[in-house]
């Protein structure tokens, strides 16, 4: 499975680099991947994940709404971890249809 790590988790992702690399086939980061510019809107990110069959790791608890706007009818949201630096839960959002 491919995964996209949202921009606000840049520091968290660096700490978890080895873990993410072991768990996922490909790890892409918003702001560091050519198709994922730093100021990418949530709508565009949802569309990208749908087109490229990617899960999204984010601390934005409402990011999933943009997956629905781009044709996905069913998603799965799970708590993936905790961003200690920002004191926020981290979620993984996957498309199930």
For 52-90, how does the pLDDT look when each residue is reduced to its tens digit (9 = 90+)? 999 999 998 787 777 777 677 788 899 998 888 888 899
Encoded tokens for 91:
């979620």
97 in Cβ contact with 74 (< 8 Å): yes
Range of the domain at 34: 2-95
Q: Is residue 11 predicted with pLDDT exceeding 80?
A: no
Encoded tokens for 78:
């799970």
SS3 89: strand
Place of tokens 């926020």: 88
How many domains is the chain built from? 1
pTM value is: 0.86
């Amino acid at each position: 499975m491919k995964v996209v790590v949202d921009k606000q988790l840049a520091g968290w992702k660096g700490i978890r680099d080895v873990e993410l690399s072991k768990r996922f086939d490909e790890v892409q980061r918003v702001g560091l991947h050519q198709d994922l510019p730093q100021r990418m809107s949530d709508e565009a990110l949802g569309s990208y994940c749908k087109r490229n069959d990617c899960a999204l790791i984010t601390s934005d608890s409402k990011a999933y709404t943009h997956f629905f706007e781009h044709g996905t009818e069913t998603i799965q949201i799970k708590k993936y971890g905790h961003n200690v630096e920002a004191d926020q839960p981290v979620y993984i959002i996957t498309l199930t249809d």
